[in-house]
Structure 1
Amino acid sequence: MRRPTLEAVAARAGVSRSTVSRVVNGQTTVTPDIRDVVMRAVNELGYVPNGAARNLVTQRTNSVALVVSEPPNRVFSDDPMFSTVIRSASIELEAVNMQVVLLLAGSPESHARVETYVAGGHVDGVMLVSSHGADPLPVALTRLRVPVVSYGRPAVPVAMPYVDSDNVGGAAAAVRHLLERGRRRIATIAGPLDMIGGQDRLAGYRD
């Protein structure tokens, strides 16, 4: 059975092919009554838009890369942080009809693959997770002019928006809590010191 075409939908709806294209691509330049006629024809014929062709027109992939700068054995470990971030990002993006593409970048070879993949236009944006001090991706991705946000302040100086916890204040509050309860010999496990989170937690502890 042949897949219904855009031309078949246009014929059923009694409108031009370009009008059908505007409707299925979500453009708002079509009147509501025409849109209803077109969508009725789409439903009657069972028409499914060609995603690849639509992406060429809209210059969008409806996908966001979640780039985790860790090896697989670290990401798929018992650490709940990674599963929480992946699950939360997926839920939020699915709510706006977008897809998460998980890319692991735990080695120099994978850094190059991720940069090539993003440069190829396969995603509309990038969310960086668990970036380390020597990670070249923050600087490389900003050069590509792709929208990028970092989960955590980047460890290298780069003009990139980020979302982070108050690691300095959190560590200081934890130590203060113990001091107020009479503890005087207080140790800390700060985390990797090539990551801003680990550096900030150590600074808060020392403060």
Structure 2
Amino acid sequence: MNRPPSDSSGQGAAPTLDEVAARAGVSRATASRAINGGNRVSPSALAAVEAAVSELGYTPNPAARSLVTRRTDSVALVVPEPDERVFSDPFFVHTLRGVNRMLATRDLQLVLLLARPGEEERRLLRYLGSRHIDGAIVVSHHRNDRLADHLAALSLPCAFVGRPWTSADKVAYVDTDNLAGGRAATELLVERGCHRIATIAGPGDMAAGIDRLEGWRATMRAAGLPDDLVEHGDFTEVGGEAAARLLLARAPDLDGIVAASDLMAAGALRVLAEAGRRVPDDVAVVGYDDVGVPERTTPTLTTVRNPIGEMAEQAVRLLLEQIDDQRGPRPIRVIFPPSLVRRDSA
């Protein structure tokens, strides 16, 4: 019976690819192809190599395997946001969970890449260009980061969560119908009888912020109501508080607020309570996202459900399809419908 050679210390050395090939009765090249995917290997040779690997306890060298397959078995989640926001916003937590859950089924490593504009962003682009990862999921991107342009130019497999500002015809993305979501939230308040409805819009450099604002405007115009009560926030609770204070100062008689995120709606609820305005009796409030915040507010928050987990998982599927068939970015889009979740605030 053949045994792996021993090193000078008397302990068994790790078996080599040559030993696997010899045990299986195939060439070294055939053994390598069998271990790295089985391309152009006969079923009998593949079975012999698999048996030899099992008998010898052979473990492929990751660096050598990468040279053969040109794969790193890792995928990046790219978030061009400050780290303090990423780890405090439920939107990112749910996205991270959805992505990681899908990658785990394929035994792929998740690499989290955060970058502020400036030198951090330039370092991120150098990293992506060096192909340290097999592909990228991008979330919470802004007008000026132009990540879709860069990834399309690199021909790096990628998928975006949310419609990119540029190169939307060149990369895959998943999104929810934010325009319809903004309309649904506003229609609820119109049907309720509110006539002085304000909105706390999202950032003007993000597609979701623009689309949800346009949904609000379209509904207000259709109802013959003024659409002048707009303040922009940054999708944070602090931003929602600041915007709500400005709105109350401008329109003390406002009786409805549509916020472009649940965190901003939670900030508005706090300001309304401080001002002695009862919700929903005096002011009805609707948020957007439905990812853990609405159940904790007082009163509980009516909101538009943003299917974040489902979108993250679908983005990973689109990415893995590109990686598996060795194509670069492909312009596939999947749009999820929003849904209204009624609770106590409206």
Same fold per TM (> 0.5)?
yes
Give runs of aligned pairs for residues 75-94 of structure 1, distance below 5 A: 75-77=86-88, 79-94=89-104
Q: Is the 8 A contact 2:103 2:110 kept in 1?
A: yes
Task: Report the residue type matching 2:48 in the other structure.
Answer: V
Task: Report the residue type matching 2:131 in the other structure.
Answer: G
Corresponding residue to 1:189 among 200, 207, 224: 200
Which is further off, 162-171 or 137-146? 137-146
**Aligned equivalents of 2:21 and 2:151: distance in 1?**
41
**Aligned equivalents of 2:56 and 2:164: distance in 1?**
50
- SS of equivalent residue, structure 2 residue 198: coil
Q: Which structure is higher in strand share?
A: 2
Structure 2 match to 1:54? 65
Shift of 1:102: 0.8
Shift of 1:30: 2.3
Task: Report the residue type matching 1:111 in the other structure.
Answer: E
Structure 1 match to 2:76? 65
2:154 counterpart of 1:144: yes
**Aligned equivalents of 1:155 and 1:143: distance in 2?**
15
**Aligned equivalents of 2:28 and 2:17: distance in 1?**
6
**Aligned equivalents of 1:22 and 1:145: distance in 2?**
25
**Aligned equivalents of 1:176 and 1:111: distance in 2?**
40
**Aligned equivalents of 1:183 and 1:147: distance in 2?**
47
Task: Report the residue type matching 1:124 in the other structure.
Answer: D
Shift of 1:157: 5.1
Corresponding residue to 1:128 among 125, 129, 138: 138
Which is further off, 64-73 or 15-24? 15-24
Structure 1 match to 2:105? 95
Q: Is the 8 A contact 1:111 1:136 kept in 2?
A: no
**Aligned equivalents of 1:141 and 1:164: distance in 2?**
18
Shift of 1:96: 2.3
Task: Could you tell me which runs of 5 or more consecutive residues in structure 1 were left unpaired when the two chains were aligned.
Answer: none
Task: Report the residue type matching 2:142 in the other structure.
Answer: H
- SS of equivalent residue, structure 2 residue 201: coil
Q: Is the 8 A contact 2:143 2:206 kept in 1?
A: yes
Task: Report the residue type matching 2:143 in the other structure.
Answer: G
TM-score with structure 1 length normalisation? 0.92
Identity over aligned residues, as a percent?
50
TM-score with structure 2 length normalisation? 0.57
Shift of 1:149: 1.9
- SS of equivalent residue, structure 1 residue 70: coil
- SS of equivalent residue, structure 1 residue 188: strand
2:171 counterpart of 1:160: yes
**Aligned equivalents of 2:14 and 2:200: distance in 1?**
59
Q: How many residues align?
A: 206
2:111 counterpart of 1:115: no
Q: Is the 8 A contact 1:155 1:196 kept in 2?
A: yes
Q: Is the 8 A contact 2:38 2:46 kept in 1?
A: no
Structure 2 match to 1:40? 51
Q: Is the 8 A contact 1:111 1:137 kept in 2?
A: no
Which is further off, 86-95 or 23-32? 23-32
Runs of 4+ residues over 4 Å off in structure 1: none
Q: Is the 8 A contact 1:171 1:202 kept in 2?
A: yes
Measured against aligned partners, the alpha-carbon deviations of 1:68-122 in whole angstroms (never above 9, x if no partner) come to 0101101011x11101111111111222232221100123111111111111111
Shift of 1:142: 2.0
Q: Is the 8 A contact 1:71 1:107 kept in 2?
A: no
Structure 2 match to 1:179? 190
Measured against aligned partners, the alpha-carbon deviations of 1:6-33 in whole angstroms (never above 9, x if no partner) come to 0111122222211211110112422323
Q: Which structure is higher in helix share?
A: 1
- SS of equivalent residue, structure 2 residue 197: coil
Which is greater in Rg?
A: 2
**Aligned equivalents of 1:139 and 1:184: distance in 2?**
43
Measured against aligned partners, the alpha-carbon deviations of 1:141-171 in whole angstroms (never above 9, x if no partner) come to 2221212222111134553322111111001
2:215 counterpart of 1:204: yes
Task: Could you tell me which runs of 5 or more consecutive residues in structure 2 were left unpaired when the two chains were aligned.
Answer: 1-11, 219-346
**Aligned-pair RMSD on alpha carbons?**
1.6
**Aligned equivalents of 1:162 and 1:88: distance in 2?**
15
